[in-house]
Each structure stands twice: as C-alpha cells, then as structure tokens.
Structure 1
C-alpha cells in the first residue's frame, strides 16, 4: 500500500513540475510528416537519435575505412510504442477521439511526447522520450496513463499496457555480445558490449572502438504491464545508458534509477530551462509566432548536437558538428556524420553566441586533429596542415570515394578554419586560447597555403590553381575568388599570431606576407564585379553562395564591387541551392541597407526549407531531395537574423584591432522588436535589442580590469565595465573594443 501511495505522489509531483510551455516553444501537430526523416532529432552532445527512427548515434563513434567511414549505427532500442489493452484486445484508431492524438516537441523543456485520448476506454496516455541533458549517457522513455471519467462499458474492465520496441535491423557497424544478464539493487538490466567492425585509418586508429550499452530491463519481448482497475494513474520508464567505459555507463544507469520519474525529468528540464534563461535565447515581438518557433527550434536542434556544459560525469572529447547533427549520420544524405566547412563558417558563429565554451569545444576538435591534417598535407605533397574536406574520428580524409576531386580541390576548408579562429578571437579576446589553440593551427595552415600557391615572379602574382570553391558545380578552376580571399585572411592572421604568440622567424612571417600580398583577387574592371574564378563567363549558373561571401561573413570587400556581385549572382544561383545561400544574400543586402531585397531573400531562405510540423530544416527546398535536420541552413538563417538584420559582427580591422561592430538595424517583416539575450563578448555578458532603425545593447562585465572603449568615426570614448548603448541608423556606425 505504501508503495502505491508513493507512486501516486510521484506522478502528482511529476505532473506539477511540467509548467505550461509558451506557444513559441511548443510545436504541436495532430498528423505526422509524410516523410519521417523530418521528425525532431534529439541529442545531448553525447548521444542522439531521430524520433521514431531506428538509429542511435554516439559522439565520435564511426565505422568504416577512409571514405566509407560513417557514424556507427546503434539500433534504437528506445524506439518504444505503448498500446492500451484489456480482455477484449488492444485499442485501435477507432477508440481514439477525433484529433485525440497530438505529437508535441517541447523545445523549452527538451522532450518529445505523444498524447492520446481513448474515448471508448476512458483513458489518456502520454509517452515521452528524451536524451537526458544532465545525465547525458542516458536515454529515457516514459509512459504515464491516466483514467478519465467513465464513458463506456469498457472503461472499468481490467487493463494492461503493452510496450513494444522497434529498434530496426541489427547494426552493420558493431559486433554486439551480451556481457551480463542480471540485476542489481537498483533494478534488472543486461549489458551489451559492441565493437566497431572496421577502423577508419590504422595510423591514427589502431584498434576498433568499443562501447557498452546498459538496459534498465530486458526489451527482447513486448512488455505487458498490469494496471489494476483501482489505480487511477500508472507510469513506467525505460532507461538505456551508453558509454565507451562500462563503469561510466553503469554509474549513469544506477544514478538515474535511484531517482523518481519526476525528479529525473525535472533535472532534465532544469538543464534546458537554464540554457534558455541563462545562456542564450531570442525573443521576438510582433505578429511572428511561426518565425519565433522556427528560431527556437533552430537553436534547439543546434544545441542538441553540442556537449552539455554541466553533466553528471565528465564529457568525452567532442568530435564536431556535422551538417545534420549528432542524431543522424548512417546515410549519404546525412553526410555520414562527417565534419565540413559547414562547422566553422555556417554554424560556429551562432554556437559561439551560446557561450564561449561551446565555441572552444568545436574548435578544440580541429586542434586535436592537427597531426592528422599535417599528415594529409604531407601525403598530398605539401607542407603544413591541410585539413580534409571531410573528417570524422581520426581527422584524416574521409570524403566519399565517389568524388575524389572534391577532397583534392576544396582546399578552402583550411583557411576557413583559420578565419573561424580569427572571428572567435575577435569575440573572446582570449589571449591564452589564441596562443595555445589558434596559433598552432594558423601557422600550419599558412605553411600549407604557401606551399600550395603557384607564384609568378615576372607578374608579381601568386595563384591557387586547380581548386573548387563553395560552388561545387565548377570544379578544377583557377583563382576561385572566395578561396583566395579567405586564404589572404588566414595568412594575415597567422602573421599577427606569430608576432604575438611566438618567436617565429621574421623570414617565415615575411614569406606568409609575400604570398598574401601577391595572391590574385580577380576583378572585372569594366563590369566592376568579382568573377567567381578565372574564365568565369557572366550568367553562368552557380550552385550556391560563393563570391558574395566576400562581403559577409569575410568582410573582405564591402565596396561597390561587392554590391555588384550581389546583383550579378542573385540571377544565376540555381533555385535548388542550399538554404544558407539565400540567408547570405539577405545578410549582405541588409549591410547595404537594401531592405526590400533583404526581406525577400530572408523569407526565401527559410519558408521553403522548413517543414511545418516540427520546424525541421531540409538542405533543399520543397520538391527537391535533400538532407533533413540541416543544421547548416539553421546556422545561415540565424546569422542573417542576428548579424544581418541586427547589424552585429565580430572582426578585425586593417590596423589589427579586434572589435564588436555595431551597425544599422532593421527587423524582418511583421516583427516589431528582437532581443538577443546573454551572448558573450570577452568576459562580458551582453543583451542586444533591435528594432527598425534603432537598437540598444547592454554590457555587464564585472571581471574586466579596464573596461571597454567605443570607436565612432575618429572619436574614441572610454566605457566602464557595465554600460548601455543606444544606436540609431542615422548615427555613424559604432565599434566596441576591450581595453587591453
């Protein structure tokens, strides 16, 4: 009897901790997407899966050699469905009220649930699933059933819940063996040990990877849970814990099972609420519910693939952000879970707003794989570090065997990484990090670029030949203007770091500067625009944003030439291009204060790419095949919103100042005001509110010794450690720097 009372009390507490979720954070539908790839992808940086999918994936665990490496699929034993049954059989769709089933993604609290009301049985059933954000080795499935006022003769008949799991086929990535069947003081469970079948590259991975999967109970057969008629409510949960170390997984499972269902969920929702309340959020006012939901969903899906900053046990090293996130990666459409330039150029600028530690986690992956990048340069005949176009566990080249020219020619990923290091430093002003992490990478990338360049002394020019820029429709071209521009930035930042972090020889730095100064940037003087590559013919169709990136994000050229680039390339970019292309047109047109154009491309950049039910992004617009949960598109979209409409940016000036740029602002259509809460600049915590033609930024930095200064034209004004700044569009642009 006491056990029953405690169970009922636990359910009551469990329900009370679920405060009503604001509409902007609740995605609710009565019908599922026609393509279940567009179900929500959930994760906690250690584990991830797509709701109703057959796969679980773990951070850094891959299987396959070279270009056949892909995230190692773990069967999704957490894909569980509950049926309500009695002596007459199990309930069917005929027993469900009209619109009696709702599918809900609660972004604020971080879980997915299915709510079903059975009208003939007088019962409601709620099923919840989530990767725990604090106990991040644990995946949770919970079901809570409740009796409603009796409405039929079947309402009081004996009942039980039938739980069936649908894990999909056996894994082709692991050899699983049962290590233990048994029980402990906290419950019954079994343990599986899985070893990957094929190593990625023996030089950097001599042995297969090993994981341990622990279950709170056996799932080999459907579970039949008796529900006594006198009991108004009934709950059950299934926990799976996964880690490389059996002891870690076991501790996680035992710690989780020691908590009540309500306390376990509360710990999870508190972690998610803490992120939204204290780390980062965007509030939008106006007639913009759908836009708010898309923004919140985008942030949620990005964060779900990042490590939790506070966890029950220490995190493992992070293995990067792939284009479709941690919860996907078994298929070519998921880019096999590999890391591309997408990480640094499209996602990192937003990730770093969540908190500097998130940015460091992403960039630390590149530092840990620097030796592999040096090997990649050496084996292809060059010096320094050549980061592979696609990388996974070892950091060596894992581009799909179908497309060797991509790995050979898309060399811009290496200077892209250096550019990301520069931008992150402009935001963080972390000198220790710059010398410990940024400098070793930037120096080796500079050496690669110098060895890769072909210089003609007679013309005092250097070229990057046989390359492919972001526009992958045009391989094997010379002097792709984006590649050369970002390479100049990379060489210049390496020079700056060398002077500030090392006793590097002046001869080496002079060599970097010489190549940077001589590297060709194509420009058609008659038409006043940048041809994408040597021999580009005007009106040739291009795949995606390429040359236009010289404005934002590179800040390489903001002249009339850049303005003409936008006009030239907007008419020749193919319609099926990836989502972030239109976001970059929007951001760049905003920088030119061409509001109508910016609005057009901003809406184009998300309205055709976001599936309505759970605001899941596709790589391509409706009507084309493309990747689901496309984090790259989310990153571009959020950049257009914050750095385009908001007018913010972090960057470096010609006189080597690293600044926060604070420029003209507008809001998207039907939006009155946008507030970006709690993003970091140096050690300061900033809140930024912008509306049409004016904005307010609030700084607070109790740790700063000298505070900040404002640069407005030729005028410099000292600011304190905490201050507010209001800016109107008619005022000169403001730059803010941290006093050193």
Structure 2
C-alpha cells in the first residue's frame, strides 16, 4: 500500500473525528451577522482576533499615552481567503454556475476553531477554510485550507491551482514596522517583520516602546498560487504566523509547529481544547434547552479564549489583564480600548475560578504586579496606600478615556472590589500561603487608601465617602454610595483578618482600619425599608445598572427584607438599555429570597436580548442599542446566575474557616438538569449535578491532613477526604466547612 493512499486514509479518518462535535458545541449558519462585530472572537491568552476583522492583538501590548492608550493594532495578516482556479480564471462567489448560495459558516467550540465551507457545483469541488490561535503553540496563528474533489469530478475540467490572498486591512497607526527579512522558500527562511509602538503609556512605568516580531511561514505580499494536480483528489495548505516580543521565541514556535504535519498540528490544538472541556470546566444542560446550552458553551469558550493557555510549547509571558471584550478586541472605544475594569474581579473572576485556580491566579497576579503603580496613583492624588485605576492597561496607571474624567476620579470602589475578589478566592481555595504572599500586600495597601479617602466625623462617630460614583454611572459626584461603602467595609475587615493571619503585629494599624469600617455609613430608609443608592437619592429615579442590589449577591452584606425591597424598587428604576449582567444579578439575587419565582423573567431577559443568534456572541446592550461586542462581562453575570443563583452555591470566609454553602436549587426555565464539571473547593474537584428536586455533589480531595465537616440543620457530620453530598428540595441548607 503506497504512502499517498495511507495519507488519504489518515486524513479521511481525521475528518471523521472532526465531524463528531456534539451539537451543543457547534454553531452553524448560512448567513453572517449583519454587523461583523458579532463574528466569533478567538484567542489563546497571548494573541487574539475577531474572525474577518482587521486586527490582531497581543497580550499586554498597548499604544498611546494615558487615556489614549489602547491595544496596539496589528494588521490581520491571518485574514486570508482562497479561491479555486484553472487556466481560464478563478471561480467567484457571484458565478451562479460555479457556486452554491449557502456557504456554511461554523464555530466549533469544543475543537476551538472557526471554519467555512463552500461547494463549487459546476467544478465538483468543496473548499474549506479555517483559522485559530493555536492553544499549545500559543505564539502561533494558523490558517488552513482543504480543497476536495467530488468523486464525479471530470479530471479534464479540474482546476489546476488554489489562489490565496491576504486582507489585513489598512496600515496600523500603532506600530512602526520594519521588514527584517522578506523570506525565501528556496533558502528555507521566513518573512520577518519587527514592530515598535509609537507612544508610551506612561514613561515612569514604561520606559521603552513595546517591540514585537512577526514571522510568517510564507509571504503573502502577492497572492500565492498552490499547484493542484488534476489526478489529486484533495489538497491542503497552511499559513502560520508567529508573534512575540522575542524573535527567538516566535521562531521556535514557528519551527516546532512546522515540524508537525497538517493534521497533527491541528489535532494538537484540538487536544488542548478537549483537555479544557473534559478536565477543567464544562456545563451540560438537559431539557428543552439546546439553545441555552449552546449559549453557555459559547460564553465559556469566549471567556476562556482570553485567558492564558496553561500548557504551552514555551513559557507564557505575564498576563496583562482581562478586558470586558476580551483579548481579540481593543482598538476602539466600544471595546473599552482593551482596558481592565472592575468587570474582571466582580463579573468574570467568579466563573474563571471554576475553570481552575491557576486561571484565577493569572488574573489576580496582574493586580499584584501593578501594586506599585496603584500606590503611585494614590500618592499622586494626595492619598495613602494603593488606589487601583478605574481603567488599567500595561502600566497599571490611570488610562480612563479623556471623555470621562469624573469616572476615574470617583469610582473608587474598584480598589475595594479587588480586595473583595482576593477574599472570595481565599474562601474557595483555602490557600493560606497564596493569601499571605499575594493577597495580604494588596489588601493592606487598599485599606490604607480607603482610610485616607474616608471623611470621618469624630463627634458623630461616623465616616463617609464623599464625591464618589457607584456602579451606576448615571449618578456622579454623590456621597455615601451604599455599594461603595459596603464594599469598603468588607475590604477593611478582610485586611484586618489577613494581617493577623499572616503574622503582622501592627495592632494600631488594624484598630484604625476596623474603626473606619465600623463607622462607615450605610444608608437605609426606615419608612420604606430599602437602601437609597446614595445620599439624596429619590425613589424611582432611573439608574443605569445593578448597584445597590449587589449587597445581597455577591457581597452577602444584607439578606433581610430590606434587600428584597431593594430588588423590587430598583427593578422598576433600572433603564431598559442597561448592560446584560444587570438582569442576571436580579435573577441571582431573587433566587436567594422568599420570592424566588421572580428570577426566571430576569434570567431570560439577561441573555435573550443580548446574544446574537449566529455565533452566540454577546452584546453589552440589548438589540437596537449601540454597545460592545463579545461582552465577557455579560457572559460572567449570566454564568454566575446559572451556577451560583439557580445552583444556590456560594463560598465565604468566617475567621480562618472557609465554607461552601448549598442553599438549595431551582431550575431555569425549560431545564431539567444541570451538570457542572467541575466546581473547586479547597483542593477538591467536584462533579455537581442539580435538578428541580435535588442536587448531588461528588468531590475528590487531593491532599491529606485536612478534613471536611458538613452542617445541615442541627446535624454535624465529619466527611471523608473523598465525599459526596445530596441535597433534597425542602431540606435545610448545607454548609461544608474545610477544617484547618
């Protein structure tokens, strides 16, 4: 049997494997979105792009000073198209004799790539093109084309070559590019371009421009012709583009990738994505809810695509932040210029932590590395400690758009939000060493900032935050925003605990922090039994988004009748065009009250008007309003409502003890069962299934020496290191404590 025939068999089997992607992971359409912003955005934590877009972006590479800093656009040289040609010319899309009118576009979430297929009827040919950022060779972007002849194709009429053309878009205004090597197939070298950004973000923390190297396996400066012998049934070709700050790193990924044959390179990428879905995180939704399951899978994929790959050919660069629209966007104001906000810690991180602690640590490490810049931000404004900027990019200094200076000046809650996220991570991971090494230094500096920013009245023994803005950005320059004050109290108390636990003996410092925490004013209208959003707020005044209602979930600050009234009042006051995660938070919060039946309406509202149907890409605002695309913040809120809202799950700290709470489950509309693989707790990895009448959690513990204790009602049970727990509808909540 000859080698060519064996190769055909191998490739046919390989194609068969690809075709087995479950429907819940396969997004197919014959019609592209009317707005190509809602094409899939793909990434691997190092590089990202939007399919058919004009930009590639690289982790941590920005251009522009201060508020003009934005992700530095690399022309999208991966935007390649192929056509089939013979000696008379090339087939075109408007040639009705040559092509069908229903090209199939497909986003394969499980395998992690985008492809589109087109049939040339007259020529008897199928052309498939696909692209993806490689998940193992993560400096590499891959374009692949497969052209196949149908069995009935007449050889005399067969096309003789493919023509590949590049469509990178206009020149970049962010980089100065220099061609170092044009490449020569005869010599076996590669086209190499060096790019340097043109404007520093802030010289104190970025003394030099960013420098990157872009290597091409083949040059496409001119259209590339690939010979296709008439006797050959199938032809394949690939273009690989590698990008890194170091030319040697980009070159190694390129050379190592090229050592693999066509299908092995693709399969290595697929294996990494399968490892994620099978071993890191996945959700299965059963019932009359395929679309909901697809939306959940797409959300997980788009969120995970912006995170670093944990298994790579070469060591990752430091991760430089998780932006609201991901790594594959950031050149535009609508993409928030690729900056990091509170969205990272409050909306996305609780879901990212379920992917695995290493993913969460990558996200939080970004804040740790920017601590010195945060201290500079505080000092520059006359305060102590660390003030994290409202918008952060490469340097960690303030890069809020010049349009909106009041937002940067007044949304001080972001520093407390970061401290809150550190505490939530500890509550789930029970990682004491990490807490002392990474969390405590941040928590201490944030506490110092909050104390220096507070305005305290000694006679009344009360403290305020004046001239602030809460999450509701429609109301600037207010006093005592209740979310800001509540979050600050939590951050101050966490700093006191972390300092003591980590062996700091500064009693005077802890007393100062605790005193301000105790005195911070939390507004409450006694007559109406609700929390006014800020001093002077009038009931039914329109607000932009979830703000005060967050006191219930995720803050766990208020579970009383006051919180239930907050939900009722602010549901009627929140504007229709509010961002997607707002309605998910109404759902998650109602599910924790005696009026849990109200949650379904808000849960469906939180995704049905925000998810574009073709590739399940999220928008920041409902259809009909202008807003950001690939809105990871909305995805984070939606998945939190599904896991922690309907699932009734939460993690919290009480002293040195961490607790996982299961308060009972409810089911989203048209859903019969939800299975989550996996939920993390301590060193456990838990398979969790919940239905309308019960939930079942099966946990395996990785280390010895620590035990779990379960409390339910008055019953206390010591659990084995590997344990399972069933919670039935109507039973009291279950609390599982990790004993230290």
TM-score of the superposition, structure 1-length normalised?
0.98
Q: What is the SS of the residue equivalent to 1:571? A: helix
Match of 1:720 in 2: 720
| Offset from partner CA, 1:360-382 (integer Å, 9 cap, x none) | 00000000000000000000010
Match of 1:109 in 2: 111
Match of 2:670 in 1: 670
| Offset from partner CA, 1:494-531 (integer Å, 9 cap, x none) | 00001011324100000000000000000000000000
**Whole-Å separation in 2 of the counterparts to 1:342 and 1:131:** 25
Q: CA deviation at 1:595?
A: 3.8
Match of 2:396 in 1: 395
**Whole-Å separation in 2 of the counterparts to 1:685 and 1:537:** 47
Match of 2:120 in 1: 118
> What is the 5 A alignment of 1:235-250?
235-250=236-251
Structure-2 change in CA distance of 1:647 and 1:185 (3 Å): farther
Match of 2:562 in 1: 561
Number of aligned positions between the proteins: 738
Match of 2:135 in 1: 133
Match of 2:430 in 1: 429
* RMSD, matched Cα: 1.6
**Whole-Å separation in 2 of the counterparts to 1:550 and 1:23:** 39
| Offset from partner CA, 1:680-713 (integer Å, 9 cap, x none) | 1111111111111311111110313232111224
Match of 2:64 in 1: 64
Q: CA deviation at 1:16?
A: 4.5
Query: Structure 1 regions of 5+ residues with no counterpart?
Result: none
Contact 2:708–2:720, Cα closer than 8 Å, also in 1:
yes
Match of 1:82 in 2: 82
Q: What is the SS of the residue equivalent to 2:103? A: strand
Q: CA deviation at 1:6?
A: 7.3
Query: Structure 2 regions of 5+ residues with no counterpart?
Result: none
Contact 2:68–2:399, Cα closer than 8 Å, also in 1:
yes
TM-score of the superposition, structure 2-length normalised?
0.98
Match of 1:156 in 2: 157
Q: What is the SS of the residue equivalent to 2:283? A: strand
Q: What is the SS of the residue equivalent to 2:157? A: coil
**Whole-Å separation in 2 of the counterparts to 1:377 and 1:158:** 66
| Offset from partner CA, 1:661-683 (integer Å, 9 cap, x none) | 11120111111000111221111
**Whole-Å separation in 1 of the counterparts to 2:209 and 2:7:** 44
Contact 1:689–1:697, Cα closer than 8 Å, also in 2:
yes
**Whole-Å separation in 2 of the counterparts to 1:281 and 1:385:** 37
Deviates more, 1:680-689 or 1:407-416: 680-689
Match of 2:631 in 1: 630
Contact 2:280–2:355, Cα closer than 8 Å, also in 1:
yes
Q: CA deviation at 1:10?
A: 5.8
Q: What is the SS of the residue equivalent to 1:591? A: coil
**Whole-Å separation in 1 of the counterparts to 2:441 and 2:639:** 30
Q: What is the SS of the residue equivalent to 1:402? A: coil
**Whole-Å separation in 2 of the counterparts to 1:601 and 1:83:** 47
**Whole-Å separation in 1 of the counterparts to 2:719 and 2:251:** 52
| 1:178 partnered with 2:179 | yes
| Offset from partner CA, 1:202-228 (integer Å, 9 cap, x none) | 000000011000000111011111211
Contact 2:123–2:159, Cα closer than 8 Å, also in 1:
no
**Whole-Å separation in 1 of the counterparts to 2:656 and 2:98:** 66
Q: What is the SS of the residue equivalent to 1:717? A: strand
Q: What is the SS of the residue equivalent to 1:444? A: helix
Q: CA deviation at 1:145?
A: 0.4
Q: CA deviation at 1:728?
A: 1.7
**Whole-Å separation in 1 of the counterparts to 2:159 and 2:719:** 72
Contact 1:46–1:59, Cα closer than 8 Å, also in 2:
yes
Structure-2 change in CA distance of 1:711 and 1:237 (3 Å): same
Structure-2 change in CA distance of 1:572 and 1:158 (3 Å): closer
Q: CA deviation at 1:92?
A: 2.5
**Whole-Å separation in 2 of the counterparts to 1:694 and 1:135:** 43
| Offset from partner CA, 1:65-102 (integer Å, 9 cap, x none) | 10000000000000011111223322133145555410
| Offset from partner CA, 1:589-612 (integer Å, 9 cap, x none) | 111153431000000000000000
**Whole-Å separation in 2 of the counterparts to 1:422 and 1:571:** 32
| Offset from partner CA, 1:589-646 (integer Å, 9 cap, x none) | 1111534310000000000000000000000000000000000000000000000000
Contact 1:427–1:660, Cα closer than 8 Å, also in 2:
yes
| Offset from partner CA, 1:524-548 (integer Å, 9 cap, x none) | 0000000000000011000000000
Contact 2:591–2:597, Cα closer than 8 Å, also in 1:
no
**Whole-Å separation in 2 of the counterparts to 1:155 and 1:76:** 37
**Whole-Å separation in 1 of the counterparts to 2:666 and 2:157:** 60
4+ runs deviating over 6 angstroms: none
Q: CA deviation at 1:181?
A: 2.9
Q: What is the SS of the residue equivalent to 2:131? A: strand
Deviates more, 1:156-165 or 1:20-29: 156-165
Match of 1:277 in 2: 278
Match of 1:549 in 2: 550
Match of 1:144 among 134, 143, 146: 146
> What is the 5 A alignment of 1:11-410?
11-12=11-12, 14-93=14-93, 94-95=96-97, 98=100, 100-150=102-152, 156-183=157-184, 187-410=188-411
Contact 1:40–1:50, Cα closer than 8 Å, also in 2:
yes
Contact 1:186–1:257, Cα closer than 8 Å, also in 2:
no
Contact 1:392–1:398, Cα closer than 8 Å, also in 2:
yes
**Whole-Å separation in 2 of the counterparts to 1:154 and 1:403:** 65
Contact 1:10–1:260, Cα closer than 8 Å, also in 2:
no
Q: CA deviation at 1:656?
A: 5.5
**Whole-Å separation in 2 of the counterparts to 1:199 and 1:354:** 34
> What is the 5 A alignment of 1:635-714?
635-653=636-654, 657-714=657-714
